[in-house]
Structure 1
Amino acid sequence: MSSDYTPSPETAALFARYKRHLLAERELRQAVKDAAPAEMRAGGTVSDLAELTGMTREVFRRIAREHEIDRLRPPTHGKDAPPPAS
């Protein structure tokens, strides 16, 4: 199915810019994930890396678990957290 739609020059430029950034992000994502374990072992926290990259903290938590990187503090939420005090 084909259409004869043609965006305005401003919209076409916006879409092209978005596509360039999306492709660049896809290209860099794996390199960032590969560098993360060494940075966490060097003292970078999940929050530090999330703030520096714009990725979520959970991305880096998963990387840390996958690479068996020790936590800097005990968990406060989730299945590994201690039960609440009564």
Structure 2
Amino acid sequence: MSNHALILHLTGRPEPLVFALSDKSAKSLMTRLPVLMGSAGVDSPELADGSTVAINFGLVATAHIEELPLNQQAYGSPKRGTGFGG
């Protein structure tokens, strides 16, 4: 399993929004992201934890997909136990 993240920079917000994507969504968005940004489209990608999020790309200044470091949490990251049966 790869750890792809969708990074969204919104106008007027100093920190980006980071969403952990499912492998299927990451693959799909890699080719469609320029179209969604150019057309101000709305999309609901599946996140790594199986949930979805609705994104209005008309409100996004910039967006890109990159690898999410293993120790970094993001919206939609799978829940991780403590390693001690949790």
Q: Same fold (TM over 0.5)?
A: no
Give the structure with the higher percent helix.
Answer: 1
- The structure having more radius of gyration, on CA atoms, is 1
Q: 1 or 2 for the larger relative contact order (CA 8 Å, sep ≥6)?
A: 2
Could you tell me the TM-score, scaled by structure 2's length? 0.23
Higher strand share: 2
Q: TM-score, normalised by structure 1?
A: 0.23
